[in-house]
Amino acid sequence: MKKIVSIVLALTMVFTLTIPALASNYTDVADGAWYAEAVEALRAKEIMNGVGKGKFGPDETFTRAQLATVLYRMAGSPAVTGEDSFTDTESGTWYADAVLWAYQNKVVNGMDNGRFGTNDAATQEQLTVMLWRDAGSYKLDREKYASTEGVENQASDWAFDAVVWAKAEALIADLDAYAPTKAASRAQVADMVYRYMKLKEQFANIDAVSGATQKADEQTAPAETTGSKVLVAYFSATNHTAGIAKHIADAAGATLYEIKPEIPYTAADLNYNDSSSRATREQNDDTARPAISGAVENMADYDVVFLGYPIWWGQAPKILYTFVESYSFDGKTVIPFCTSGSSGIGSSATNLQKSASEASWLAGNRFSGGASRESVVSWINGLGLEIEAK
């Protein structure tokens, strides 16, 4: 199997190296332009077209109806029924389904006066807010991600959190050129939409729910001769955090425990684009405490607990709260770790800490889903604990 993978990889590399970079399909997009890759990718996926006569029109503006259409195409142009409530949209037009979809999915709100602003040029903050809403409107910790001199301060109040998010997720190509209230250029639209698509792809890996549960029962040997008894407790919906948890348990000779939900999460439950999905509802509900199946045996015996989870809307999934509130952590050292598509650990660990403040909490760490065993080992050995990871 390994061999097949390496052959495929080798072939992929050969092809990647020998196919020359495609020249732009538009006469007004230079190959090396900062937005050229985005323009080409969106053209190839039929998400954003040119303006005719072989041109893309990078410096031209883009209407709000066009923007809704781009987002609708990105969502796969699903069938829609019903009507929007805007006063300036017309049914049967080229944009009608897209605006209806965007309205029904709360990607657009329209203007105060009941207009959608169909033919208005989309501003840069409107573009940002639409992407942010499409992503689920998750608000990053302002203390950590916003700053007094940040570009978010030039944005309208309703766009502030969206701009903070776009900045943190590196969706803005050039912060110096970003002017929230000015019209977005077609080049900016293409570039930002493309960056967002790549971000989505990163966290769209949500089809392996059953895989996460399968691997969960593997337990490594209990801690050997280190002075401390170590537990690695983790929740993982799509197996990324499980991989890191196993590296930790293996390297530190710790006991591995999976926090298993009594009702497993399905792919639909994890859909962060759906404001009524289970994950979204739970994360928006401060009192949600999803039930856990099973329990840690002899929790009192452990001195050190590594606590792992995926980032959901910038925070730990609510089942982590169920977990920490189920045991006494008195006298224990807790080390949080997480995986995410791109967000840092942010306030997720410090918020969790409030529910087990009797423990001594170390600063947490964010890993990418595929982080290597070596990187995990060197992280553990740098924690200053009496644990030697090998």
Cβ closer to ligand FMN: 36 or 163?
163
Rg of the chain (C-alpha set): 24
236 binds ligand FMN (CB under 6 A): yes
Cβ burial of 367 (10 Å; 0-12, 13-18, 19+) is buried
- Residues of span 198-217 touching ligand FMN by CB under 6 A: 203, 205-206
H/E stretch holding 233: strand 230-234
State in angstroms the smallest separation of the CB of 297 from ligand FMN. Answer: 23
What is the per-residue DSSP string for 323-349? HHTTS--TT-EEEEEEE-SS---TTHH
d(CA 201, CA 45): 14
Helices (H), the chain: 2-18, 36-44, 64-74, 96-104, 124-134, 142-145, 160-168, 186-203, 209-214, 240-252, 278-283, 318-324, 348-353, 373-381
Q: Does 340 bind ligand FMN (CB under 6 A)?
A: yes
Q: How far is the CB of 210 from ligand FMN (least distance, A)?
A: 12
By rule CB under 6 A, what count of residues binds ligand FMN?
Answer: 25
Q: Residue 256 forms beta bridges with which residues?
A: 232
| Residue number, 110 or 341, with CB nearest to ligand FMN | 341
Q: Closest distance between ligand FMN and the C-beta of residue 162, in Å? A: 13
Residues 69-88: x where in contact with ligand FMN by CB under 6 A, - otherwise, as a string: --------------------
Side-chain half-sphere CA neighbours of 34 within 13 A: 12
Q: Do the beta carbons of residue 186 and residue 62 sit within 8 Å?
A: yes
Structure tokens at 328: 């006494």
Least CB distance to ligand FMN at residue 15 (A): 28
Between 77 and 202, CB nearer to ligand FMN: 202
- Among 118, 123, 126, 241, the residue binding ligand FMN under the rule CB under 6 A is 241
Per-residue mark of binding to ligand FMN, 170-199 (x: CB under 6 A):
------------------------------
Cβ distance to ligand FMN smaller for residue 103 or 313: 313
Q: What is the spatial distance between Cα 32 and Cα 173, in angstroms, rounded to a whole number?
A: 15
Q: Which residue, 182 or 215, is less far from ligand FMN as judged by CB?
A: 215
What SS3 state is found at 293?
Answer: strand
Q: Which is nearer to ligand FMN, 159 or 209 (CB)?
A: 209
Per CB under 6 A, does 164 bind ligand FMN?
A: no
> DSSP letter at 132?
H
Based on the shown chain and the rule CB under 6 A, indicate whether residue 168 belongs to the binding site for ligand FMN.
Answer: no
Name the site residues for ligand FMN (rule: CB under 6 A). Answer: 138, 203, 205-206, 236-242, 270, 272, 279, 310-314, 339-343, 369
